[in-house]
Amino acid sequence: MNETNRVDQALADLAAAGKKGLLPYVTAGLPDLATTERVLDALAALGVTAVELGFPYSDPIADGPTIQASYTRALDAGVRARDILTMVSRFRKRSQLPLLAMLSYSIVHRIGLTTFIALARDAGIDGLILPDLSLEEAPQISQLIAEAGLRMPMLVSPASTPERRRKIAATCTGFVYYMSVTGITGERDQLPPELVANVRQLRQASGKPVVVGFGISTAGHVRLVCSVADGAIIGSALVRRMMEAQDANGTTDAIVSAATDAVREWMTGLP
């Protein structure tokens, strides 16, 4: 594929403008795919850099209780990977918002690696984040994904050794996904004091954009992270607000409004 990947282009445009990005995480199918599609429309209108689209899985790897609960709701409603890709195809006809699929490698393996990559590419997915993919398998799979024109960011833990960070960063395409905290996703009151230094070192060592996720839940967190990183990912805090809106009202309008208000609030933290 010759066309520029949408994730690459979005990050390059930010860098050229001296700006930083917000990449919200949305659980696909919460509470249904029609609502997810409307949330994507709303986030695109707000001007977010990209959206990380979570594929529900019964045995999540790095997800905390909030995102696990959202997965349960989506799975109970019958959402499946191919349904999500069908929704993405529909959305892609009217939007160029970059979309990254966050999913267990087990889902990809079950469908078939080459088959899933082709399905994701044809639907309009721009990258795959596979948190349970081993570093040993990653280079070959990253190459196959890149050959399809997609990107494969990988997670770097604060607990990783410098050598392991270097290997992960070398395998990443699109950007390096730095975890602000070790462990699972979830909202935090404070971010670790060493975060800024770690991200600065990772950017210098990798020569690639670095986006930070895990634990980010306020505009102040976004401001801190984006003082050194290229962007911030907010997941659990957004998913929680959407589930609260679902529980309190249940209408699609209420859920979309909750998501929009939250992301608009966090975007005030962007420098």
Residue 30 sits in a domain whose CATH number is: 3.20.20.70
Domain total of the chain: 1
Specify if 202 maps to a domain. Answer: yes
Q: Which domain holds residue 221?
A: 6-267
Output the furthest CA–CA distance in the chain (Å, rounded): 49
Task: Read off the pLDDT of residues 113-162 as tens digits, 9 standing for 90 and up.
Answer: 999 999 999 999 999 999 999 999 999 999 999 999 999 999 999 989 99
Task: Read off the pLDDT of residues 60-69 as tens digits, 9 standing for 90 and up.
Answer: 565 678 899 9
Residue 204, burial from CB neighbour count under 10 angstroms (0-12, 13-18, 19+): exposed
| Pick from 84-93, 96-105, 137-146, 176-185: least confident | 176-185
* pLDDT confidence band for 187 (50 / 70 / 90): very low
Residues taking part in catalysis: 52, 63
Specify if 1 maps to a domain. Answer: no
Q: In the structure encoding, which two tokens stand for residue 46, read together?
A: 């707000």
pLDDT higher than 50, residue 1: no
